[in-house]
Amino acid sequence: MQIFVDTGLVEEIREAAKLGIIDGVTTNPSLIAKSGRSLKDVIEEICSIIDGPISAEVIAIEKEAMLLEAAELSKIHDNIVIKLPLTEDGIAACKVLSAQGVKTNVTLCFSSNQAILAAKAGATYISPFIGRLDDNGHDGMALIEEIRAVYDIYGYQTQVLAASVRHATHIRDCGLVGADVITAPLKAIKLMYKHPLTENGLKAFLSDYAKSAK
């Protein structure tokens, strides 16, 4: 399973890169807005830090405008993945971009029906929002399982990219049900390192070493 960091803050991406286990980055206009910088400048810097897929989202809601934005974003770097909303226009734009060999990430997915449409359009990634589903009384992980099952039955090549990840348990469960990728805030990724037995074991080792060194 690949691990992407979900942020628009360059300082967080630099910190994440130091971990040595980050495969890519997902951003959106809201995340980048927090930096106070232009979208192009931030995306360019991110591409210089992480050598992997970098999802950059279009703002337009109509197909032709999406394609124009996608063309500009694609010029920034070869690693750019165009992030599109799961709407009629977004899926239509995805079909065009896929035919051109442009990588795409179809976002705001909340059902397996929507995921089928993205796969039919040739999306590189589909992004089910598991946290938002959980927040609204639905089972986000069940959706990952459904999409995985449908994609496996029909041999769709679209990768399941679990998004709106809230915590380390989400990450573990995504691995168990077969998500290809998870994208999460840096805080959630760093929680994957944590276990009380690891911390207690290290303390015991260091204590024993200190005693033996006297």
Phi, psi of 179 (to 5 degrees): -65, 140
Domain 2-212: which CATH class? Answer: alpha beta
Instruction: Tell me the average pLDDT across 163-171.
Output: 96
Average confidence (pLDDT) over 138-142:
97
Torsion of CA 204, 207, 213, 214, to 10 degrees: -140
* Cα(80)–Cα(74) distance, integer angstroms: 6
> Which CB contacts under 8 angstroms, 24+ apart, belong to 71-77?
73/43, 74/102, 76/40, 76/43, 76/44, 76/47, 77/43, 77/44, 77/47
Residue 151: phi, psi to the nearest 5?
-65, -40
Q: Of all helices (H) and strands (E), which one includes residue 55?
A: strand 54-57
73 within 8 A of 82, measured Cβ to Cβ: yes
User: Tens of pLDDT along 9-62?
Assistant: 999 999 999 999 999 999 988 888 878 888 899 999 999 999 999 999 999 999
Catalytic positions are: 83
Per-residue pLDDT tens over the stretch 61-112: 999 999 999 999 999 999 999 999 999 999 999 999 999 999 999 999 999 9
Whole-number pLDDT of residue 37: 87
pTM: 0.93
Q: For residues 111 and 133, is the Cβ–Cβ distance under 8 A? A: no
**CA dist., res. 106 & res. 81, Å (int):** 10
